[in-house]
Amino acid sequence: MSDRVALDTSALMMPVECGVRLFEELDRLVPAADPVVPSSVVAELDALSKGGGEEADAASVGRDLVERCSVVESGAGYADDAIVELAGDGRVDYVATNDRDLADRVRSRGVPVIGLRGRNKLAVTQP
């Protein structure tokens, strides 16, 4: 059985912003990971990709990476709240994020967080 890993906006932008090989790192940490993305994260990536500069480029790449994930609905319209909802409802086994505040909220619900460790590697932090 695979472990569901929720990816937030910052995680999907890591390949450009941090040089992280996101799916290789997820496979290393969580073999047979099943990546899921809330629809509100997709909307946030769409909005960010319309801007300019590196952030827009990173969001555009992140939006392309969503094609490798399952898009899920949640009751929350704000991306971070949707991730917390998925974690709190037990619908995901891990959350991947580079957002410290979001990571704290997720860990407080007993869900491990996958985040940046070092320059371009990811690590799991237990709650």
CA distance 12 to 61: 8
Terminal-to-terminal C-alpha distance of the chain = 22
Quickly tell me which residue has 């991306």 as its tokens: 79
6 by Cβ neighbours in 10 Å (0-12 / 13-18 / 19+) ranks as buried
Task: Provide φ and ψ at 18, rounded to 5°.
Answer: -125, 0
Tell me the CATH number at 101.
3.40.50.1010
Q: Is the pLDDT of residue 100 over 70?
A: yes
pLDDT, residue 17, reads 93
- For the segment 18-46, the average pLDDT, to the nearest whole number, is 95
Q: Largest Cα–Cα distance in the chain?
A: 41
Please count the structural domains in the chain. Answer: 1
Residue identified by tokens 């090989």 is 21
3-state secondary structure at position 17: helix
Segment 61-85, tens digit of pLDDT: 999 999 999 999 988 889 999 999 9
Tell me, what's the pLDDT at 1?
A: 62
Grouping H, G, I as helix, E, B as strand and the rest as coil, residue 126 is coil
The residue range of the domain holding 102 is: 4-125
* DSSP 8-state assignment for residue 76: -
